[in-house]
Structure 1
Amino acid sequence: MIPFDRIPGDQIALMFENQKITYAALQQVALASKSQLDQFTEPIIFIPMTPTPVTVVKVVACLLAQKIFVPLPAKDAAIHARQLKSQFASAVLWSTAIQHFKTPQLKQLWPKETLFIGFTSGTTGDPKGFVRNRASWQASFENFASIPEFAPKPYVTCFTPLHYSLGLYVLLQTLFQGKTFLLNMRDLNDPLWTATILEQSQIFSVPTVFMASLQHLKTPKPTKFEIILSGETITATQRQYFEKRCPKAKLFTFYGASETSFIAYNTQKQPPAQSVGRLFPKVQLQVTADNALLVKSPMNFQGYLKNGQFQPAATWLQTGDVGRYQQGQLYYDGRQDDRINRKGEKIFPKFVETLLLELPQVKDSLVYGLTDAQLGQRVVAAVVWQDDPLSKQALNTFLKQHSYRRYQIDTLLTLDKMTYSTSGKKIKPQAVTKK
């Protein structure tokens, strides 16, 4: 997966603080670590994803040893490993101290050349893993780079942690392309961002993390660079703020999931509201009668691991999202599970959130449903205001004028600030002011 034979040995693979590690050095240390892995009979390797060169060496060693790795959060990795061990017949936690796990679970047969198994729901409740093989991610690397705007740059980084799918993906894509990955970069204030490095960089992130980074900038960034965002759609207001803070930089977005890799991409400066852009090459899309999105692609994952059992994925993958495909553009309305049923009317909260964020008075918003005796579910909008708040009636008038469906807000809440999870998702408020 990493073509060491085609990459000059003196090319820098990793930059971390004051360290520069070449591809030759990375291969040499990874081969030494592979010797340690070869002694383990267990096929599954738990790796705590601390943002250091040691972690990258372990990942590369797993690639060389044909071992399947499971990325874990760096914090409390041993606890996470113990919670996940029942999913496997046997596994090893490759940390400072090696821990071996064996369970009554039957030996599992994994898809050909399985690369890693990630867990989308963390380690709480009933964890569900998604299984990835090398071919699907290599297809993703090649497909992504086939878009001219996404052509590889000399330096690449990601503002999300390495145990998240995006962070891990960007790391391996960078090494596959023979470029330099900047480790443990958190925002645009990092001292490593000299003008020379920044103008030759691609930065991956999710909208909430990157917008927070923009707000922390003391002065605008006049340098040219590229930011590529995945996750929630970016509003026109956010794009304008980005242009104000980074006037020479380019903002691109893509839509996909851990299971589907890349589905669509946006390179327009101001795309239509809710548009996630054009389909990537080799992606086929179906939109059902109830607006559910199904995807068929060589980049799709291989299946789920749940309760120790591997469940192969269908050829046409149900994304769990709803949307529309019109005139060559894919429009994302939200998650199927999040839909609010208000007196029989299906309301997509993510669509309403995005509309509200187009208002200059709205700084942030979260829309969700609550059980209601008369309506079935009522629509709640929690809003952080820029300055003077608007009334519920004013918001509903705006929704009526700009929505293709009959949307309205039943309860309006005012927040001092929005709370986010570590993955960048908005958290529902508990005690707020009702308006």
Structure 2
Amino acid sequence: MIPFNKISHDQTALIYHEERISYGELLRVSTSYQEALENTDEKIIFIPMEETPKTIYKIVACMLAKKIFVPVPGQEALFHVQKIIDSFSSAALWMEEFEYFKTKRNELVLPEDTLFIGFTSGTTGERKGFVRNQQSWLRSFEIFHSVPVFHPKKYVTCLTPLHYSLGLYVLLQTLYSGQAFILDIKSIDDLLNMPEILNNVQIFSVPTVFRYWLARINKKILGAFDVILGGETMSVKQREQFFAQCPDASLYVFYGTSESSFITYTSDRFPENHCVGQNFPEVKISIKNKKNSIGKIVVNSPMNFQGYLKEGQFYPAEMEISTGDLGMYNRTLFYYGREDERINRKGEKIFPTEIEAIMLQLPQVKDLSIYGLPDPILGQRVVAEVVWQSQPLTLKEINQRIRKYSFRKVKIDTVITVNQVSYSESGKKEKISQES
């Protein structure tokens, strides 16, 4: 997977605090970890994804030993393993020593070159694993770097945890490409005292996490770094704030999923609302079950995953993968959010992302979250949790502004003032209100 024979062993592979670890050292130590792996017959290895070199040695050792690894959070690793162990007949948790597990499941049959299995609860709460082989990720590395704006820089870091698919992806892409991955970077502030790195680094993150750290630095950040964000789109106001605070930096946003890697990207400073850009090379997009041009986003790509692992069974993926998202496509893709987050208000289909994009342009709004709650008359009513920047608007004033900019019948029924919108580590919004 990692072409050590093509990368100078003197090059820096990892930076951990003050320590620089070369590719030669990475291979040497990983090979010693491989010897420990070869003393176990277990094929499935759970790896706690702590932000330390030891974690990287374990991952590389699994690849060298042709073991399938399963990333789990570094904190309370045993607790997280116990939640997913029922998907396997047996496995081992790699702490200082191996801890072994056996279940009543039949032995799992997976594609021959399976690299790892990531677990996600998605938006439905149903726990499932997504299976990735080496070839699909190798194609992802190649296709990503074939786009001129994403040509490799010397240094790379990621502001999301390594056990999430973005963090793991960025780590392995970095090592495959011969770049240097900076471990344990928790904020932009960590890079401010390293001007050599700040001028030659790609910073991957999701918009919410990146904005969180940017807001805590009350000065301009001077450096020609690249910020590459995946997840929800950024509003015009948020982009203006970014370019004002990071005048020499470049901002790129991509749309993708754990199952399909990279789908589209945009390097426009101010793209249209909902626009997530043009296709990555070799990616084909279609829109199914369209209504008013908006429907389910379906992807055919050499970067697609192999299938799902559910309740101990492997289910191969189709050639075309439904992302579970809604969009409109005409040379460029417009993203309207998750299918299961769409609100059905009195027969009218309402997209939370559309309302959020409109309201985030209002100077009074700092942040917000839109979702639906059951209603005996409307079916679902539209709820807005709002963090106000200044004097709050009334419900009537909010709906007047929404009607001005939306061509659909969109209306908010309930406004809840909150101190902050709650986000998970992966950048997804979580409801604060449990009102029903």
**Cα deviation, residue 355, structure 1:** 1.8
What is the CA–CA distance in structure 1 between the aligned matches of 2:82 and 2:350, rounded to whole Å?
Answer: 40
Question: Deviation per CA, 1:312-368, whole angstroms, max 9, x where unpaired?
Answer: 111111110001013x21000010001111111111112211221122211001000
Letter of the 2:307 counterpart: G
Residue 118 of structure 1 aligns to a residue whose secondary structure is strand
What is the CA–CA distance in structure 2 between the aligned matches of 1:366 and 1:217, rounded to whole Å?
Answer: 24
What is the CA–CA distance in structure 2 between the aligned matches of 1:126 and 1:96, rounded to whole Å?
Answer: 31
Question: Is 1:304 aligned to 2:308, yes or no?
Answer: yes
Question: Is 1:139 aligned to 2:142, yes or no?
Answer: no
**Cα deviation, residue 389, structure 1:** 1.5
Q: TM-score, normalised by structure 1?
A: 0.96
**Cα deviation, residue 394, structure 1:** 2.0
**Aligned residue number for residue 224 of structure 1:** 224
**Cα deviation, residue 429, structure 1:** 2.1
What is the CA–CA distance in structure 1 between the aligned matches of 2:368 and 2:198, rounded to whole Å?
Answer: 31
**Cα deviation, residue 157, structure 1:** 0.3
Question: Deviation per CA, 1:192-226, whole angstroms, max 9, x where unpaired?
Answer: 74111111000000111100111111321122111
- Alignment CA distance shift 1:38-1:145 (3 Å): same
- Alignment CA distance shift 1:154-1:67 (3 Å): same
Question: Is 1:313 aligned to 2:317, yes or no?
Answer: yes
What is the CA–CA distance in structure 1 between the aligned matches of 2:193 and 2:113, rounded to whole Å?
Answer: 37
Letter of the 2:162 counterpart: L
CA RMSD of aligned residues (A): 1.5
Where does the alignment leave 5 or more consecutive residues of structure 2 unmatched?
none
Letter of the 1:188 counterpart: I
Letter of the 2:297 counterpart: L
**Cα deviation, residue 289, structure 1:** 2.8
**Cα deviation, residue 409, structure 1:** 0.7
**Aligned residue number for residue 171 of structure 1:** 171
Residue 305 of structure 1 aligns to a residue whose secondary structure is strand
**Aligned residue number for residue 387 of structure 1:** 390
Letter of the 1:259 counterpart: E
Residue 432 of structure 2 aligns to a residue whose secondary structure is coil
2:400 is aligned, of 397, 400, 413, to: 397
**Cα deviation, residue 39, structure 1:** 1.4
Residues 140-159 of structure 1 aligned to structure 2 (within 5 Å): 140-159=140-159
Residues 43-192 of structure 1 aligned to structure 2 (within 5 Å): 43-121=43-121, 126-190=126-190
Question: Deviation per CA, 1:269-310, whole angstroms, max 9, x where unpaired?
Answer: 110011000011111111013311111101011100010110
Question: Is 1:322 aligned to 2:326, yes or no?
Answer: yes
What is the CA–CA distance in structure 1 between the aligned matches of 2:176 and 2:393, rounded to whole Å?
Answer: 50
Assess if the C-alpha contact under 8 Å between 2:191 and 2:198 holds in 1. Answer: no
What is the CA–CA distance in structure 2 between the aligned matches of 1:298 and 1:345, rounded to whole Å?
Answer: 37
**Cα deviation, residue 83, structure 1:** 2.1
Percent identity, aligned pairs only, is 50
Residue 292 of structure 1 aligns to a residue whose secondary structure is strand
What is the CA–CA distance in structure 1 between the aligned matches of 2:275 and 2:261, rounded to whole Å?
Answer: 18
**Cα deviation, residue 378, structure 1:** 0.6
What is the CA–CA distance in structure 2 between the aligned matches of 1:97 and 1:28, rounded to whole Å?
Answer: 20
**Aligned residue number for residue 197 of structure 2:** 197
- Alignment CA distance shift 1:106-1:303 (3 Å): same
Question: Deviation per CA, 1:69-92, whole angstroms, max 9, x where unpaired?
Answer: 000001100111122211111111
Letter of the 1:426 counterpart: K
**Cα deviation, residue 423, structure 1:** 2.2
**Cα deviation, residue 245, structure 1:** 1.1
Aligned length: 430
Assess if the C-alpha contact under 8 Å between 2:160 and 2:425 holds in 1. Answer: no
**Cα deviation, residue 144, structure 1:** 0.5
Residue 259 of structure 2 aligns to a residue whose secondary structure is coil
Deviates more, 1:371-380 or 1:408-417: 408-417
**Aligned residue number for residue 420 of structure 1:** 423
Deviates more, 1:42-51 or 1:380-389: 380-389
Question: Is 1:430 aligned to 2:433, yes or no?
Answer: yes
- Alignment CA distance shift 1:129-1:431 (3 Å): closer
What is the CA–CA distance in structure 2 between the aligned matches of 1:190 and 1:230, rounded to whole Å?
Answer: 21
Assess if the C-alpha contact under 8 Å between 2:13 and 2:26 holds in 1. Answer: yes
**Aligned residue number for residue 275 of structure 1:** 275
What is the CA–CA distance in structure 2 between the aligned matches of 1:332 and 1:120, rounded to whole Å?
Answer: 21
What is the CA–CA distance in structure 1 between the aligned matches of 2:361 and 2:226, rounded to whole Å?
Answer: 24
What is the CA–CA distance in structure 1 between the aligned matches of 2:341 and 2:191, rounded to whole Å?
Answer: 40
Residue 107 of structure 2 aligns to a residue whose secondary structure is coil
Letter of the 1:416 counterpart: N
Deviates more, 1:111-120 or 1:350-359: 350-359
- Alignment CA distance shift 1:334-1:134 (3 Å): same
Where does the alignment leave 5 or more consecutive residues of structure 1 unmatched?
none
Question: Is 1:41 aligned to 2:34, yes or no?
Answer: no
**Cα deviation, residue 243, structure 1:** 0.9
Question: Deviation per CA, 1:224-250, whole angstroms, max 9, x where unpaired?
Answer: 111000011111110001011111111
What is the CA–CA distance in structure 1 between the aligned matches of 2:404 and 2:7, rounded to whole Å?
Answer: 55
What is the CA–CA distance in structure 2 between the aligned matches of 1:407 and 1:192, rounded to whole Å?
Answer: 43
**Cα deviation, residue 384, structure 1:** 0.7
What is the CA–CA distance in structure 1 between the aligned matches of 2:40 and 2:188, rounded to whole Å?
Answer: 41
